[in-house]
Amino acid sequence: MDRTITVIGCGAAYAAPDSVVINGQVIGTSNDYSEAVRASAEALSSLRKSIGEAGFDMDDLKTTSFSVDTVYRNGASGDMEFSGYRYMHGISITTEAQGDSLGKLLQALTSCEGAPEFRVSYIVSDPTEPMRQARAAAVKDAKHRARELAAAADVKLGDIVSISYASEGGAPVPRARMMAAMAVDAVPRDQEFRDSVTIQWEII
């Protein structure tokens, strides 16, 4: 029987965010379905115009979702009564984290008619390098663990028999989320990227 030892190594790397993603929702209610659709379109048009006047490309404002739902409320008799139609238009826009770009964009979003509810997320736009560093750290961690286990078991490590790797994907969930006034003055924390690798050694 072959004698082997299998170890899972974990590694982490950190990188400073260089971009900001603003996700938001334009929400409103109308008694008429067509009016709800029209109001949603007008609100989006107002947003695009506002960010365009602030110096941003209006086409950078993306739609992430759109819905019109019937709204009911409790009536005087206890029965559910029709209350209107609620529209929800999801939006997303990305800008640079450095400089005054974020402040200008937030000002544009909050000053327009029908200003959306939103959240600000700091991200690393290209996670390639921190992910590479995390993988290298995972391999180093696996070697360290394997040597510790071999020493504890009074055996020696031979050649590597196999390496198994399944990427954990791209950038992590943003760790810094905040509203307008906080985001402008905030210093975002570095984002953490994690990866793992499974390595099998021969025992000699």
Domain residue spans in the chain? 4-16+126-203, 19-123
**Whole-model pTM over 0.85:** no
Could you give the CA distance from residue 26 to residue 22 in angstroms, rounded to a whole number?
Answer: 13
Note the CATH number of domain 4-16+126-203. Answer: 3.30.110.170
- Cα angle for residues 91, 96, 99 (degrees, 5° grid): 130
Predicted confidence (pLDDT) per residue in 52-69, tens digit:
999 999 999 999 999 999
Please report the pLDDT score of residue 168 as a whole number: 58
Closest by Cα among 166, 141, 182 to 7: 141
Q: Are 87 and 14 in contact (CB under 8 A)?
A: no
Predicted confidence (pLDDT) per residue in 65-87, tens digit:
999 999 998 877 778 888 999 99
CATH topology for 19-123 is Alpha-Beta Plaits (3.30.70)
Which segments in the chain show pLDDT lower than 70? 1, 167-186
